[in-house]
Structure 1
């Protein structure tokens, strides 16, 4: 039986830029430190990291729904590090072949660019981008049309099946969510110059990246002050979603509809598909022999996020 660990964690680019009360910052820091200690104690031989992008590495010139990186580099947005991720190319290629063999339409990138959605959990949970070998698994979460929860589950299952064959200690990470609706532009309503950035915005100048990040910081300041038109956070939806994951209610999760997700929890709540995929991978890798539990939840307006953590450990037969 594969020995596996599951860690699902919200990410936010607003840490250190627009922060809640110090006691909340400290509370989250203690949580992340505890999760990091658990990862280091587990000492994974390989990480499968499911994460979204925020128009930093993937664009509308050709937006895949799902993509695996056989090589990847962090763009270093916000306060994350720039540089390469230690992707074992041969394992990534074999994983891609297995997933496609399960009738999942998967893109493959030999030059994947990733942003804080990937880099932040790696740095927070392991201390750096490069401590452990990692397979980066992208799920489109911001550019309609987006896949369903059911498809995210099927993707995760295929990855977990592959991981089960490796005879390694594997860590599955789901990065993102929960309810939130930051000011990510949409193609349907974007001005021409913004639409062009959504189509072909790779490798912006330092000045352009800084201006974009400042717009997000300004939006978070307004949201925290209660003067923003952004979609409100939805703690009830967040907690119900985590409960469904913790009890592995796959039928309930498959029943979530994309329009209902957006309406209830905001356009960027689709990032929770990374949690669905990571849990499904854990389930497949362990043959269903794992226990998941919600570890933390707090609605944090300053970070425009229902901020949460859920973990799982494999158990003996």
Structure 2
């Protein structure tokens, strides 16, 4: 058993609303380096923790987390189209293990996944199907949320399962850091928005294009006096990264959902994917981690970061 971890921010605005060319090149260089590491590692299995942005999961049935034995990309924001290469027998065994570990994991045999999952797979592997992958989607956009302690326990249980495999396993966490794109809230929403949040699957191409255009326009003014959305919080991002690098994961149990939303942005809760990923790695033994990159990028509505870790 050999394990490698990569946690990185995703942003649907790459290529749609870019910062200065030198910053784009800087990020691209980091992604090329990260992919080269994964190419050299040549994982036999990838487990990716990622969020959903009201593309596969809606309030008609909103689980705190769900594991898929079959998943297909919705191809939003120009991401790749097609099915993920999920090993059904291993996915089923992981699901069984999680239930036996007192984790009430929801199961899907036909899940739609969006850029929160597919952009990271594409960036790190060049494909949706190059390696066997098991996606675990963690609700990070649709309150109410379960506690951060529960996410850490989920990660631990996944890590215990990984320890039983004689495989090279890559753990990916996709999301964060501080950011607040224009994602609507169900509470107080107009009737048409509420209906979308409850059952908005499979929008028309025109509806998807209009939705993406709103996010692109928000990126053009994000971080300025014209924008009412919570700005990026560099201090918060750096403190969170330090917690992960030091391995002080139990301190995350005290994270307060409302406080994070106010100080770093409502979509900052995508860091739950990073918490689960690092908790999975830590459950297999002590690790060594490092911050590869961090930069606040308003144009992408993201505190953009990349962290790596391996077993000691």
Aligned length: 312
- Residue equivalent to 2:194: 195
Is 1:69 aligned to 2:73, yes or no? no
- Residue equivalent to 1:27: 26
Displacement of 1:189 after TM fit?
A: 2.6
- Residue equivalent to 1:18: 17
User: Aligned partners of 1:278 and 1:189: how far apart in 2?
Assistant: 33
Q: With the length of structure 2 as denominator, give the TM-score of the two structures.
A: 0.98
- Residue equivalent to 1:300: 297
User: What secondary structure does 2:77 align onto?
Assistant: coil
User: What secondary structure does 2:293 align onto?
Assistant: strand
Displacement of 1:284 after TM fit?
A: 1.4
User: Aligned partners of 1:229 and 1:145: how far apart in 2?
Assistant: 22
User: Aligned partners of 2:12 and 2:140: how far apart in 1?
Assistant: 16
Structure 1 stretch 234-243 or stretch 261-270: which is displaced more? 261-270
Q: Map Cα deviations across residues 169-191 of structure 1 (whole Å, 9 max, x no partner).
A: 00000000000010001001311
Displacement of 1:259 after TM fit?
A: 1.3
Structure 1 stretch 145-154 or stretch 61-70: which is displaced more? 145-154
User: What secondary structure does 2:145 align onto?
Assistant: coil
User: Aligned partners of 1:55 and 1:13: how far apart in 2?
Assistant: 14
Displacement of 1:226 after TM fit?
A: 4.1
- Residue equivalent to 1:90: 89
User: Aligned partners of 1:203 and 1:136: how far apart in 2?
Assistant: 20
User: What secondary structure does 2:53 align onto?
Assistant: coil
- Residue equivalent to 2:38: 39
User: Aligned partners of 1:121 and 1:154: how far apart in 2?
Assistant: 23
Q: Contact between 2:223 and 2:232, CA under 8 Å: does it hold in 1?
A: no
User: What secondary structure does 1:78 align onto?
Assistant: helix
- Residue equivalent to 2:102: 103
User: What secondary structure does 2:290 align onto?
Assistant: strand
Displacement of 1:283 after TM fit?
A: 1.1
* RMSD (Å), alpha carbons: 0.9
Displacement of 1:150 after TM fit?
A: 1.0
Displacement of 1:118 after TM fit?
A: 0.4
Is 1:275 aligned to 2:289, yes or no? no
- Residue equivalent to 2:111: 112
- Residue equivalent to 1:138: 137
Q: Map Cα deviations across residues 241-293 of structure 1 (whole Å, 9 max, x no partner).
A: 000000010232112111111111110000001000000111113x22x2111
User: Aligned partners of 2:139 and 2:180: how far apart in 1?
Assistant: 15
Displacement of 1:224 after TM fit?
A: 5.1
User: What secondary structure does 2:280 align onto?
Assistant: helix
Displacement of 1:81 after TM fit?
A: 0.8
Q: Map Cα deviations across residues 100-124 of structure 1 (whole Å, 9 max, x no partner).
A: 1111111000001100000001000
Displacement of 1:148 after TM fit?
A: 1.9
- Residue equivalent to 1:245: 244
User: Aligned partners of 1:226 and 1:54: how far apart in 2?
Assistant: 26
User: What secondary structure does 2:102 align onto?
Assistant: coil
Shift >4 Å, 4+ stretches: none
- Residue equivalent to 2:233: 234
User: Aligned partners of 1:233 and 1:189: how far apart in 2?
Assistant: 25
User: Aligned partners of 1:104 and 1:40: how far apart in 2?
Assistant: 32
Q: Map Cα deviations across residues 13-67 of structure 1 (whole Å, 9 max, x no partner).
A: 0001110000000000000110000011000000000000000010000000010
Query: Which structure 2 residue ranges, 5 or more long, are not aligned?
Result: none
Q: With the length of structure 1 as denominator, give the TM-score of the two structures.
A: 0.97
Displacement of 1:142 after TM fit?
A: 0.7
